[in-house]
Amino acid sequence: MTSSRARRPFFGDLRFLIGLALVVVSIAGVWLLISTSRRTTPVLLSTHTVLPGQSVTSADFQVIDVGLGGLEESYLAPQDLEPGSIAVRTLPAGELVPRGSIADEERSRTTTVVVSSMTIPAGMEAGTPVELWHAPMLEDGRTPDAPRILVADAIVSRVAEAEGMLSQSRTEVELVIDRSEVGPVLAAITGGSIMSIVPAGAGS
C-alpha cells in the first residue's frame, strides 16, 4: 500500500515568501531610520547677526554637530566657507547657515550708503528692515514736496550720531541697499531732499 503526502499549494508558498520579504523590509526600514537619526553632521551656526553684503569668515560662525535627517546639503559645512564670501541675506544670531545665504563677493547685489536723518524710530539697530523716504525740494529750493518712498527694502547696518556743530542732532544711518538703487539715493541726497527712515511697512 502506497501513500503520498499532500503537497502545499504553490500560492501558499508564495504568500509565505511575500510575508517574509515584508518583514525583512520593515526591519531594514527601522534600522535605517534609527541609523539616520543618530548620524550628525558638522555645520555652521551664526554667532551674531550678520547683515547682507557683510564679509564673513570662520570667526563669524560656530561649528556644531546636528542631526539633519538627510538635509545635509541644505546647510553650509565648515569646509564650504570660501575666502571672500559675503552674506546675501540677514543671518540672525543662533541660526544654522543655509547654503544660499552665503555667496562670493563678486556676485553681491548689495552695497551700503550713509543717510543723515533728523529723527529715527526708537529701537532701530543693525539688522532692522526699514524703508527710506525722501521729500525733494520744489523749484524755489526751500519748500519740500510731498514725501515719497525711495527704497522699499533697506536694512540698517549701523547707527551713529553725526558729528560737528552743524549736525543739529542729526543721526547717520548706514543702510544696506541694492546696487541698482545707489544712483537714486545719491541723487536725492545731493539734491537736498529731506530724508526719513521708517520701519518697513509703516509708511505704506
pLDDT digits (tens, 9 = 90+) for 34-47: 555 567 788 999 99
In this predicted structure, what is the pLDDT of residue 39? Answer: 72
Reported as type and span, the H/E element at residue 175 is: strand 171-178
- pTM for the predicted model, two decimal places: 0.60
Assigned fold of 11-108 = Type Iii Antifreeze Protein Isoform Hplc 12 (3.90.1210)
In this predicted structure, what is the pLDDT of residue 7? Answer: 56
Q: Distance (Å, rounded) from C-alpha 148 to C-alpha 143?
A: 15
In the chain, domain spans: 11-108, 109-199
Q: Distance (Å, rounded) from C-alpha 203 to C-alpha 148?
A: 9
- The C-alpha angle with vertex 175 and arms to 94 and 63, in degrees rounded to 5, equals 20
Task: Decide if 122 contacts 64 (C-beta within 8 A).
Answer: no
C-alpha cell read off for 127: 539688522
Residues 157-190: tens digit of each pLDDT? 888 765 554 445 678 899 999 988 999 999 999 8
In this predicted structure, what is the pLDDT of residue 21? Answer: 74
pLDDT band at 204 (very low <50, low <70, confident <90, very high): low
Residues 51-61: tens digit of each pLDDT? 888 889 999 99
| Mean pLDDT (whole number) for 107-121 | 80
Q: Distance (Å, rounded) from C-alpha 93 to C-alpha 71?
A: 21
User: Quick one: which of 71, 192, 70 has its CA closest to 137?
Assistant: 192
